[in-house]
Amino acid sequence: MILRAVDKKVSSVMERLFCFVPHLWCLVVGVSLFQLAQLLNIDAHNAQRIVQLGLFGFSLFIALLAVLCSDSAISNSPRFSNSNAGLLVVASMMTIVGIVGSLIGARFPVWALLDLEYLLMLLGGGWIIFLSLQKAALVHWRLLGGAVVIAMLLFSFRSFVEVLIASPFSNKLTATPAFTNIRTYANLAVIFIPLSCLALTGSPGVGRVFLVWLVNVFWVWVLVLTEARAALLALGVGVGWVALRYGRSGLVALAGALSVLFVSSLIYLLVPVLEADGWVRDITSSSGRWELWSLSWRYFVDSFPFGIGGMMFAADGRLAHASPHNVFFTLMAEWGALVVAGGVLFFSFLIQQSRRNPKGESPSAKVMIPVVWAVIAGFVNAQFSGAHIGSFSSMALILAFGAYSALRFPAHLSQKERPIRGLPTRLILIILFCIWGHASFLSYKLHIISEDRRGTCLELASGKLYPRIWVQGRLDCGL
């Protein structure tokens, strides 16, 4: 009797802990942005990668414990129709054949394998977020928004102090002290800004509304200050979509976003902190994107249908950018036509199933709007950036997409629904845990090589380094 009560208590604790994995991600990111790199005395990019690997491993561990201790922690799954099972089989076969061919043909197969394991970790992380939020109550979504706001406040405080001390300054990294590249900040901002609005679910008081509005004003001000065109465009497209899709609630979100942009722009104009006035870049330029995308297309055609291999854009003999700054061109060039086609078929299958899947209780518009806004903004921004490669930006992406999947495939509350069978779920988690372990080992080996060759690569690249996994992202430099 006592053992049964203890077991029930442990199961309840693990189930609750698993439900707060997304919140933990946001809080750890916020603390890391505050001062982690300085405490560890290493590059911010490398510090964030270490945090990412650690969070993935911890999340997998918590998920596995939750499944072992309590089947109800991950108990309900969307029921997939068998009518399109053939589509799923074809997608799987194309993807597997494409991956094998790409690994075999890669210049450095071991680093291509690391890139594959990294992508699988991202998918696994998104799956964990999906499962942890599938049965989330309104209070869980509000707390998730609160965790995002706390993370944003921690960064804002440090950024504000740096700007206050250094003003006027010319190096715009002053405003993004936790990042070695201002674009990695923008890649995170396009997700965190919308998700912060989750803190307004329920019946928020004036103080809470003002706090969320104020922190967003600061983050958008940093975007304007750093000339983050893609991020501003992505946020605009996202909020425009929800305004058209969600009626009055969407229009309220649009009005709030416009007020934030207006005040941020006003501060930028009236409180100059830069030595140079106005934007110094040509806003009509592609910043080298057209050249990178053209090169990616040539790789895609020349290496059809398998691609040049994962992460091999960083091993093509050019001391230039280590990625095409576009998620689709990255997949096309590095993993080839078969993997891209298989992925498109798989997502088509998921879209069809989401329309057929029985819905639970309809989520509140105050929950759906921030999540949809984040997904669309993240998707648009990923067409102009390497957001899926960056540590925190990739975590933010899968956080948004995992949350959206949880809303599209809600847990069925009826006891008549068939639960996920324990063995397959545990097996998937164990496989993901092994992938994480091997990827961490390969990442450590690559880090040693990167550090040993950093000076050589820095000299050859005329003073510039291009991060992929670690700061020195050129796989062919010095190897």
pLDDT tens digit sequence for 243-298: 999 999 999 999 999 999 999 999 999 988 887 666 666 666 777 788 889 999 99
Task: Give the tens place of pLDDT for each residue, 140-166.
Answer: 999 999 999 999 999 999 999 999 998
Rounded percentage of the chain residues whose pLDDT exceeds 90: 55
Q: Can you tell me the mean pLDDT for 363-367?
A: 80
Calpha distance 187→392 (Å, rounded) = 9
Question: Would 128 be classed as within a structural domain?
Answer: yes
Out of 54-68, 314-328, 437-451, least confident range:
314-328
Is the pTM for the entire model greater than 0.85? yes
Question: Would 467 be classed as within a structural domain?
Answer: no
Contact 119, 330 (CB under 8 A): no
Domain of residue 143: give its range.
Answer: 2-460
Calpha distance 16→379 (Å, rounded) = 30
Calpha distance 120→437 (Å, rounded) = 12
* Helix and strand numbers, DSSP H then E, in the chain: 16, 0
Mean pLDDT (the chain) is: 85
Number of domains in the chain: 1
pLDDT of residue 133: 92
* 14-33 b/e (C-beta count within 10 Å ≥ 16 → b): bbebbbbbbbbbbbbbbebb
Question: Would 196 be classed as within a structural domain?
Answer: yes
* 125-163 b/e (C-beta count within 10 Å ≥ 16 → b): bbbbbbbbbbbbeeebbbbbbbbbbbbbbbbbebbeebb
Sign of CA dihedral 457, 461, 467, 468: negative
pLDDT of residue 278: 60
Q: Can you tell me the mean pLDDT for 83-94?
A: 82
Residue 79 has pLDDT above 60, yes or no: no
pLDDT of residue 361: 52
Calpha distance 115→134 (Å, rounded) = 28
Residue 3 has pLDDT above 50, yes or no: no
Chain CA centroid to CA 296, Å: 22
Question: 160-163, long-range: CB within 8 Å, 24+ apart, which pairs?
Answer: 160/218, 163/273
Question: Would 474 be classed as within a structural domain?
Answer: no
- Name the phi and psi angles at 228, rounded to 5: -85, 80
Calpha distance 398→378 (Å, rounded) = 10
